[in-house]
Structure 1
Amino acid sequence: MSELLPTRSAPDSAHRLRYAYNTNGASNHRLDDALVLIAEAGYDGVALTLDHHHHDPFAPDATGRNAQLAARLRELGLGLVVETGARYLLDPRQKHEPTLLTPSSAGRARRVEFLIRCLDVCAAAEGETVSFWAGVPQPGVASGQAWDWLLEGVHQVAAAARERGVVASLEPEPGMLVETVDDYCRVQAAVPDLRLALDTGHLLVTNERPPATAVREFASQLGTVALEDMRRGVHEHLPFGEGDMDVPAVLSALHEIRFAGLVCVELSRESPRAHTMIPQALTYLRQAERQLFSV
């Protein structure tokens, strides 16, 4: 069944979608410069990937720096989603390691500590959610053991989020233990207050559901939504118009469910031209919305 039929019939023109840009697509800019570019382009928020060069959560005086960040975001009128996908922040020799699945208990504890520091940033700036993922099981780790470690870590993160009044959202990521939205459901069954960080592009990689269908299906569980173009079966974040994403269908579904959170544009390979891509992406999305309502 085509996903276009139920999504384009009656988009809600009274509802306004709120967009953010992920700073992993502006990694060649100073953070404040990136925030200014995002605000000037007309975005409603920022998806801040905490990293060594963009508000390092391990740098000294975290409390003071978090307060300064919160004040700057208020000044610029930007909402916040905290992203945790820094590649080498925890280990300069292994991408994304350690994770919640690392065999070393000290490594898993290091990841939990990092995620709790991210929750602190989100709490200080009154952000919408912290998005995090599971990790890739290392060779020789049995599936059952990996799931046990994952649930242990997610319970710790969720408990810390509740203490801080922050929403924690788990992102299914191609190639990781939690790869699909069904995998998310398995975790959420054990941690009921865990929300879904839905990257619509990942659905094209896993071919599990049409993106617009997933938006509707998980409407009540969405903590944040990421949107970019992507080719089917290929995990590569692309500018709009360069892949197979039916952007109007996704936007229509988001309008239909009256999604109030930030819709985050994630173009992690576009940092060399972030100064042009930041406004270009938002222009594309707003034009796509206008076309929906003109039908």
Structure 2
Amino acid sequence: MTAQTNYTSNDFHRIRHMYRSSTGITLGHHTKDLVYNRMSQRVHASSAQDFSQYLDRLVIGDKNEWAAFTSVLGASPSCFFSDAHHFAALKQYLQALQIPGALLWSCAAGTGEEAYSMAMTAHDALGGDVRSMKILATDIDLSALSVAEDAVYTADRLRHLPRQYKEKYLVRLACREEAYQVVPEIRRMVSFLPCNLAAREWVLKGKYDAIFCRDVCDHFDVATQQELLGRMAGMLKQDGLLFLGNAEPSLVGDARFERRGDKAYALKLRLQKSGV
């Protein structure tokens, strides 16, 4: 029996347990087919006879394959300016700030499209005066962060990128077919760091003007979701914005926040001032 056909419920449960033990992230029961599609590539590449043998090898210990295991399960396709209304709200917010500069966080940056979209939005909003602007972009996937730092993307990743931004902030690479690189001025605005959101301590400190936490929470159980959102609320400046994706629970009715658009929320001033 080949690895492609020998994928049992026990294999899926082992993968879920191993991935949670390694990352703190819970894969939902609905991800069984997704896990198969992604993990079958690793099983084949490792020359294992089936999923069970591949997982046995992981248990024995292979650091490189463990990295590939967590990377392939955590990977998610991305593109620039996904949910464009969030970036419109961010632009309006930055233009209205009464102090120069801002501190922003993309908490599941992946291969960097979201963080660079934030940087382009900020550059445009502030008329290019971004000397005091800092964007921190974090992810658990080191291979994704490596792609993000290179900032080279194929044309299909640019399908939502406004034309004027593409012309201003990307340059076509002559040595590659339909590949573009983000210009240095925008790349310098973003710092990429590894971070496991399920960890007890995060590498980042300070108070943020805006946090993008989009399509992250479906990887965690309900209790962890609420804990994450609570920790992020504590890291926002007064009236700071929290942008959520379709995977995140709605915060309508949450006493800590007021709605500022579709899955966009501002931390209420009185709660921030009281330290709640």
TM-score by length of 2: 0.29
User: Which structure's relative contact order is higher, taking Cα pairs within 8 Å and 6+ residues apart?
Assistant: 1
Which structure carries more strand by proportion? 2
Please, what TM-score do these two structures have when normalized by structure 1?
Answer: 0.28
For the pair shown, the structure with the greater C-alpha radius of gyration is: 2
